[in-house]
Chains A and B, each alone.
Chain A
């Protein structure tokens, strides 16, 4: 369960401030898939960053399952991200010096898991995303779609309860993007985690349990679930 109330966030721009979110309140049921829609600059990424503990909340309250994210200090936020959240970014954000399997292992390395155990787990995830034979390749030796699949494997490797995806298909062609979407949705069904996806992709949004539209940092009338086709 994700619940936000009165969440506002502003960025400093020169001497002024740009309001990214304005008194946002929403609720996302556990185990559901939610699509965040809206034009660029509408606050989708900021909302994901706040829910995922990547940025600290300036005003309002954010509660994710047992975590009151809005009141966590830096150390607890890091623990929250490490234990509870998986992130998939538009720009993939893999570490360039590590191979695919090593990139997938990173969250487990940070958690201090034993090498043999985490390698077994990472390889299983790579198999899940269909990249077993690319395990030893570095990001610059992988295509965009392959990199994003590695990123999905990394986001899922530690079994997070919350999977956040920020424009996961934005840097991919439509066919590759569709495969990533299938992968995310399949993972959600298998792991039962809550998924929030920020996207421009209406086809992807159609597959979500609920769609939230943002404009100028405010939520527009939430549309009820369209249900599976």
Chain B
């Protein structure tokens, strides 16, 4: 029997009980739609996480930190391990594929911030050797990229990330040339210590919070990059070291303790892994947005499978509907099955006829479900993005899409729907094929 003939017979039979067909297909459609929407939720989360990872640096960059820990409190010793000193920087620069190295001394976790007219500038504070910023490829759109002592260079979007004490965003107009303050605080145990002391809080043994303001002038604004660097303030490394010394009473020694972090730029993304391996071999810790991407992708696949399973269960339930419909069909068509067999239809031919019928229900349902799912994702994105646009931006990067259908979903939905439908049709098909011809012919 030819495939076109199977299709023809199947189609005629399918369209005999149209309402029942529609209801059965509808169940598959709902299941398939649910799979699409659920995995799109996971896909949306994945896309936003990935975009945040990408924003943390260029994909051709490697972030290096020392495996030893610099002392954060006076008197504490550095733990043994590779340090990011001048020798390490020079060694990394000689690795083939490395284009530039940027040593950073960060004010992360320090009670320090930059203020503009008493308003808090929410930005990452990084101290660098003044000449290194331009060498690393940062280009100023205004001013220079060389922060000398008492100077700062700001990322493209730092000026819009300024907030007053009520938490309202108050962007700074034309920041170039303005003088801001690098504000640091420390807790002093001396009851009447020198300096511009503030009244102590809680009256704990006369502990006082002291504040130091260092004026810093904005000497450059960098071009926008679409990464975290747009929200970074670059300081002269000596200003950062001074601040750290003031807070902890101990000046970090770059010669013996090294920098806190290095940023390494490679010539291309293909070289990232090999350079990363070489750096790791130097007893240094190296991470790259590229390797984080791999891990995120792996984690997100699990999330999507979990979400997709919910839709899949609906799809499996729809399989019960198909099984019921097909079983009804074998009962109703008992006599016709008998006739077909009497005029020479073999058991495999009957099985194929019924399996094809079940499969068509599954496939049509899956395709319609994909279409509805796609529609739901478009509508969902339009609605959710317009809602998000009305809210003040929660993160640094606004999301491009809330729902994103992973590329593997359509194929998986079609294959699964088909497998479930064929599985559901198997028993009815076998039952039909094994009908006794003589008794089938007597059936009404």
Contact = CB atoms under 8 A, between A and B. Distances in A.
Interface of A: 45, 49, 52, 54-55, 74-75, 78-79, 81-83, 85, 87, 89, 91, 93-98, 106-107, 109-112, 115, 154, 158
Interface residues of B, number: 25
Contacts of A111: 1, 344
Interface string B347-382: 111000000000000000000000000000000000
A96 B348 CA distance: 22
A83 B343 CA distance: 9
B441 interface: yes
Interface in B1-50: 1-2, 4-5, 12-13, 16
A95 B338 CA distance: 10
Contact of A93 (B339, B345, B347): B339
B336 A96 contact: yes
Nearest to A93: B339
B347 A74 contact: yes
Nearest to A92: B339
Nearest to B433: A74
B438 A81 contact: no
Contacts of A55: 436-438
A93 B335 contact: yes
Contact of B344 (A78, A94, A97, A115): A78
A65 to B, nearest CB: 16
B336 A89 contact: no
Contacts of B1: 109-112
Given A49-B438, A55-B437, A112-B1, A93 B344 contact: no
Nearest to B339: A93
Contacts of A52: 342
14 contacts: A54-B437, A78-B347, A78-B349, A79-B344, A81-B343, A81-B344, A82-B344, A97-B16, A98-B12, A106-B343, A107-B344, A109-B1, A112-B1, A115-B4
A95 B339 contact: yes
B346 interface: yes
Interface string B318-354: 0000000000000000011011111111111100000
B336 A81 contact: no
Contacts of A97: 12-13, 16
B315 to A, nearest CB: 30
A87 B438 CA distance: 12
Nearest to B338: A93
B343 A54 contact: no
A204 to B, nearest CB: 22
B2 A110 contact: no
A95 B336 contact: yes
Given A82-B343, A110-B344, A115-B4, 6 more contacts: A45-B438, A54-B437, A78-B349, A81-B342, A93-B339, A95-B336
